Structure 1
Amino acid sequence: MVNKLKIVSWNVNGLKAITRKGVLEKIIKENDVILLQEIRSNDIPLDLLISGLNIAAFPAKKKGYSGVMSISKLKPLSVIKGLGIEEFDAEGRVLTLEFEKFYVINTYFPRAGDGLSRLDFKLKFDNAIEMFALKLRETKSVIICGDFNAVRNKRDSSFWDENEPGLTPQERDWINNFLEKGFVDCAEKMSKIEYTWRSYRFKWKAMRIDYCLVSEELAVRVSNFQVLKVEGSDHLPIMVELSD
């Protein structure tokens, strides 16, 4: 492993749009592993295909919806697409890269939906990815990053209504209970709690819903965490740096 490893996670809100804006190129140049969510595309841009980078994509079956992509300068030992559960995998929500010392899970959690219409689906996904991550951790350390579509507590949102997607007690409880099973919130560890999403329409609505969590034995290697001030999506990228 290199002396320092920089991992960026970003909900790009459309891969084609973010590529046209030219901001992804700089992110790739300055980091080692790039985890993208909500790519909304079945096509990998040609410049990425011929870049020599290690690229894995797991799009949703439905066109223009969801999907995740991972880009790595390090060649992974293996790539795991999905959770092995069709109702979640059809939406392209989880992509895992295996490296020598750890797994890196790229994930796009479902939104609980307007009127909480998908809250039960979201909670089922929460439990499924928890089981998946804990199973992987039986063999080596785990890093899980992505858009969790939920906050942990009131400090993570500019507004408060427990009937709003991402703010429900059930969603908050799941994240906090998951952390208690041996994971560390990198932003909290580095005391860099900032909102990562802001509504295009209602600028006063902002939340911290993007996370990088590491299994606790990796916490001592977390040397930096930043919310990158990059425009192009309604989410900001987050970066975690691991040092030997």
Structure 2
Amino acid sequence: MKLVSWNVNGLRACVNKGFQNYFDAEDADIFCVQEIKLQEGQIELDHNGRYEQYWNYAEKKGYSGTAVFTKIKPISVRYGLEEDYEPEGRVLTLEYESFYLVNVYTPNAKRDLARLDYRLAWEDRFRHYLMGLDKLKPVLVCGDMNVAHQEIDLKNAKGNRNNSGFTPEEREKMTQLLEAGFVDTFRYFYPDKADAYSWWSNMPKVRERNVGWRIDYFLASSRLKPKLADARIDAHIMGSDHCPVVLLLSDD
């Protein structure tokens, strides 16, 4: 089984920059996107009936939002965390026979950290939500989690130590989530791989020089380790300030 996750930073814009070509070429079983930045009726993607489509739009126009395209019809779909509602469209949960898939766009603490307290409280809610699901069946989590967990996960760790996405508080929340029974699948396969990033700022030549951050993840319940086949980051794929990340699961 192949799963893909991509923060598209505006799906309509990304469609004009080759999204469909990548989507078709990958032929994923489940394809998750974040930061769609659109409302219902503003885009129509025709996959010849091969994919079920589920959308969680933000109330605010041109902001946030998530979507999942899946060849496998889910048993159920939830839009949000505790309640079946999420005003910023940040979470989509699809229940399958043997696992839950959670597509997430974690809130950004903002450059001046004005939203850090909100972010940290949200992280606690999200972790408890995942732990609740994990008691029922294994969980796969994917999306833009807006944190570089370890120093190896960004180019300039020293210079970003107290910046949004690399504060000690945000990094600790990721540590707590992993300690709650989840594994960072990319680091599971490539614990020491440096210069592996999924996001680059729009400053000139930053992406060209690969001055990036790894903030897009596939996490898995620890008991899914025997099913993990490989993980990769498709850094060569353009169309967004993020690139797609991929998880492969064995079928046996």
Write the letter of the residue equivalent to 1:128.
Answer: R
What are the residue-to-residue correspondences of 1:1-244 with 2, within 5 Å? Answer: 5-29=1-25, 30-43=27-40, 45-48=43-46, 51-84=49-82, 89-159=86-156, 160-191=159-190, 194-202=196-204, 203=206, 205-228=211-234, 229-243=236-250, 244=252
- C-alpha contact (below 8 Å) 1:83/1:89 kept by paired residues: yes
Percent identity among equivalent residues?
Answer: 37
Secondary structure (helix, strand or coil) at the match of 2:108 reads coil
Distance 1:187 1:177 in 2: 18
Distance 1:50 1:177 in 2: 42
> How far is the alpha carbon of 1:213 from its aligned partner?
0.4
Distance 2:37 2:8 in 1: 9
Write the letter of the residue equivalent to 1:180.
Answer: E
TM-score normalised per structure 2: 0.90
Q: Note the residue ranges of structure 1 that are not aligned, 5 or more in a row.
A: none
- Structure 1, residues 205-232: CA drift from partner, whole Å, max 9, x if none? 4111001000011111111111112110
- C-alpha contact (below 8 Å) 2:91/2:105 kept by paired residues: yes
Distance 2:20 2:121 in 1: 32
> How far is the alpha carbon of 1:162 from its aligned partner?
2.4
Write the letter of the residue equivalent to 2:86.
Answer: D
> How far is the alpha carbon of 1:25 from its aligned partner?
4.2
- Structure 1, residues 165-197: CA drift from partner, whole Å, max 9, x if none? 001000001101210111111101110561110
- Structure 1, residues 4-59: CA drift from partner, whole Å, max 9, x if none? x1010100000101112232343245211011000001135323376341100001
Which has the larger displacement, 70-79 or 28-37? 28-37
Write the letter of the residue equivalent to 1:138.
Answer: K
Q: What stretches of structure 1 move > 4 A for 4+ residues in a row?
A: none
The count of corresponding residues between Structure 1 and Structure 2 is 239
> How far is the alpha carbon of 1:106 from its aligned partner?
0.1
- C-alpha contact (below 8 Å) 2:17/2:238 kept by paired residues: no
Distance 2:47 2:148 in 1: 35
- C-alpha contact (below 8 Å) 1:196/1:208 kept by paired residues: yes
Q: Note the residue ranges of structure 2 that are not aligned, 5 or more in a row.
A: none
Instruction: Let me know the Cα RMSD of the aligned residues.
Output: 1.8
